[in-house]
Amino acid sequence: MSVRRLAEDAIQPKSFAFTDENSAWAQATIRKYPEGRQQSAVIPLLMRAQEQDGWVTKSAIVHVADMLAMPLIRVLEVATFYTQFQLKPVGTRAHVQVCGTTPCMLRGAEDLKAVCRSKIHPQPFHANESGTLSWEEVECLGACVNAPMVMVFEDAFEDLTPERLEEIIDLFEAGRGGEVEPGPQNGRHLSAPIGGLTSLTGDYDDLIKDLPKSSSQISSGRAPARGKGGGQPTSTPPSKAGRPDTDAAETDPTIAAPGKADGDKTPPSAEKHISDDLVANGHRPGAGRTGGAVEGATGEAERDAAEADQVSADTPAATAPTGGTLRQKEAAARAATVPDVALAPSDTSREPGAADATVDLSGEDGGAKLEGQRPATSDTTAGPMDGAAPGTAAQASEPGEKPAGLLSAPDGTPDDLKQIRGIGPVIEAKLNELGVFHLWQIAKWSDAELAWVDDYLNFRGRAVRDGWTAQAKALQGKGPRAPGRE
């Protein structure tokens, strides 16, 4: 299995943003999904980012993650899993994907790869010197009957020879790729035989017109009669002419049969069959088995106790007041379990039975609780403390304080909060629900208020690290200030 990694940081662009047209398309795509399911748009958004830049950059992955409020690792998993996403720059004029699966390999795919090595680069995933051409080997492209084949971006070129592929690559290198007609390159129509049909070239009338007319049924279109009165012309339609004759004693619907109603007056759905009883019995608990719940206890408890030198739960000894071997072992196991108050590591001199020097692990006085007694152990509410700078309110034990100045409705025209890096449509909607509609509101937040909002959004410190307050102040200074806002 190949390992797919992002391109080196040296060639990664510093930022990414959709064009106005692509941004409008992305917003419309996100709205196609129901509330809470917008993250399903991750694949089409990554594909549009690839179409825009030619490959999927790290900045594009971060941008899509922000737009969909997805953890970055989830978008990275999608981008690195599907081979349709190019994680490194490809040829600006042509990226040739050569199918190397068995049908294409048997029809000359190795020769096509040799052409790519000589015309583009000796190694796949490397562009030529001018950066206009690149190539790679891929799995089945879905046109096995037209093997061998390649794809250049979104167009398939089939029935290739090495010479024809060289011509196609030269045309794309010259900027004339639009002159190449996609599809089969040997003149055939789609997947039809290149020489035309050799069978079933006519309809039924054409096939029977030359047959010898030695019997009346051919000319009349009738089948010979069967059963009673055989040999005489009948009015049997041609569609039923080949059906067997059922007018026989063995198939007489009026004869009696086991399990069949007398006189054939009962509908078949009401008839009783032996198989009905078998099916009903087959669903009983314990059907086809011995022992278990249907037959009762196995009666092996005494033998098991004798072999293991202990009593089991279904023997009288297990309920005796003094217990048995099993109860003694259970008591010893409970005594060996680490209690809420554990021995101090340095206390090794105590006498057996003496009071222990203890460390409180009960959590009642603020100490750490045992693992099994913690109300939650998974890291799902790290909030702004995750990665926050030392000394900030985000690193405090409390989640900050709720911002002042929250509004029940916008003060005039609401600002586009998505201008702030890290805020996408989903986060903007949540901020609006909270009562945040304007940049000046975010610009006035203190560290504690920003930490509270970060924790409210369960953003794991992202708002603190991205500096929403500083961004809002900078953006507020670029436009007209709200009346009376400082």
Q: Contact, 177 vs 171, CB < 8 A? A: yes
Q: Contact, 384 vs 464, CB < 8 A? A: yes
Q: Contact, 325 vs 317, CB < 8 A? A: no
Nearest to 188 by CA among 223, 161, 158, 232: 158
Q: Lowest-pLDDT range, 32-36, 188-192, 251-255, 289-293?
A: 289-293
Structure tokens at 367: 């100490």
**Mean pLDDT on 275-286:** 61
For residue 214, what pLDDT band results from cuts at 50, 70 and 90? Answer: low
pLDDT at 387 (0 to 100): 41
Q: Contact, 369 vs 361, CB < 8 A? A: yes
Nearest to 469 by CA among 364, 363, 375, 384: 384
Comparing 354 with 88, the larger pLDDT belongs to 88
pLDDT at 405 (0 to 100): 85
Asked if residue 127 has pLDDT above 80, the reply is yes
Structure tokens at 236: 């049997």
Percent of the chain with pLDDT over 70: 57
Read off the amino acid at residue 456. Y
Can you say whether the dihedral through the CA atoms of 191, 195, 199, 202 is positive or negative? positive
pLDDT at 199 (0 to 100): 75
pLDDT at 254 (0 to 100): 66
Q: Contact, 182 vs 149, CB < 8 A? A: no
**Mean pLDDT on 67-87:** 92
Phi and psi dihedrals of 396, rounded to 5? -75, 165
pLDDT at 359 (0 to 100): 46
**Mean pLDDT on 282-293:** 49
**Mean pLDDT on 389-415:** 70
- Give the chain's mean pLDDT: 74
Give residue for tokens 């390999």.
105
Q: Contact, 227 vs 251, CB < 8 A? A: no
For residue 437, what pLDDT band results from cuts at 50, 70 and 90? Answer: very high
Helix, strand or coil, per DSSP, at residue 341: strand
Taking the mean position of all CA atoms in its chain, how far away is CA 14?
Answer: 29
Q: Lowest-pLDDT range, 212-221, 265-274, 279-288, 326-335?
A: 212-221
pTM of the full structure = 0.41
As a whole number of angstroms, the distance between CA 28 and CA 42 comes to 13
For residue 328, what pLDDT band results from cuts at 50, 70 and 90? Answer: low
Structure tokens at 413: 């025209």
pLDDT at 148 (0 to 100): 95
For residue 198, what pLDDT band results from cuts at 50, 70 and 90? Answer: confident
Q: Contact, 403 vs 453, CB < 8 A? A: yes
pLDDT at 319 (0 to 100): 46
pLDDT at 361 (0 to 100): 46
DSSP class of 394: G
pLDDT at 204 (0 to 100): 67
Structure tokens at 348: 């090794």
DSSP class of 242: T
**Mean pLDDT on 242-259:** 64
